[in-house]
Structure 1
């Protein structure tokens, strides 16, 4: 069964609890090539559906979730963490209930294109499959896809630490700070932190003072850190 969840536009803050529906793994499109008429050829090995609980919180196409309404449905891809919102797809009339039936799986446009690039045959993007067969006609994407096919909009907690050499002019901003400001709206419930640390380790004495000053920060981050990812950037006088 196609899995969905409700989410609000990122500027509205927060996401509603997702609704995970049971998926029949036998009905999913296999990793083998699709035929020109859209059917999925199954081989001896079937691709496992990744039963992930960490699907992305925002649509991979519009990178949001609701341009014209407060709430919007996100369809969870059964083969990767990406999601696609209802507003970015032109689902044929009368199929809203059919695509939520048992044995219906959803494949995002990124996974579809990846399979096309690694396969011999080409087929339109159908999106929804029932027992390996397209549910209906091809699925039209209404928005412009502007990021890499390998991209994800992961909202997994992250800490960004910017090490800045003393006397380095950073008042006009830095690419690392810009990246943080760009990513912050994608964490409406928190989960992203930015720390700017000035350092000078030009001598042993300065290095010891720097190490001592970092101990309280490290302890603080360890207490509150639930992040799987820590990203460091270093700014110096060099290009």
Structure 2
């Protein structure tokens, strides 16, 4: 039996109109999108010359769209809080098992190297590929290595709270200072010069913001990993 006999004429007409509409929209997007993207990119690069840092991507993430980045770390905080509440239990019966000697020794040797690399990626994110999100996740991976290799290792909750509070308050305070000094939230009120490529202190507040983001991301990802690993049997 043919498709025309199985489907009503109205249904076939709807499919045809939908297909025509999709093709029309795709045609419009393919014609206009490359020019729009190129125009936006050129404008951002022009602004980056006077207001940004050597890594233009960092300028966009933590400066031009700083509000969006603030929202992203807020979402990560909510995710960390949700995982903690979901896996919370009054039981003290852990299911972590003691790892072998080789894993424990290797984790002790690798942890400082992972931490150092994460801090480097976080601090130099305005000069090279990297940044707060990447550095924070690298640091959290080092914490995860200790969590899975040492049964008794645990990050004190007070430390996580202190780090998250410090990072969140610092981010908002820096934004408000920029608002007071330059009449713009997260305004770059510290000396900055994009021509000084390679100098750590050439980005004004931008590297400071990325370090704050790295602290917040690293602490929250570490807490998520700890909550997932140290859950109890009754979960």
Q: Which band: TM-score by shorter chain? A: under 0.3
Structure with the larger helix share? 2
TM-score by length of 2: 0.24
Structure with the larger strand share? 1
Point out which structure has higher relative CO (alpha carbons under 8 A, 6+ apart).
2
Give 1 or 2 for the bigger CA radius of gyration. 2
TM-score by length of 1: 0.24
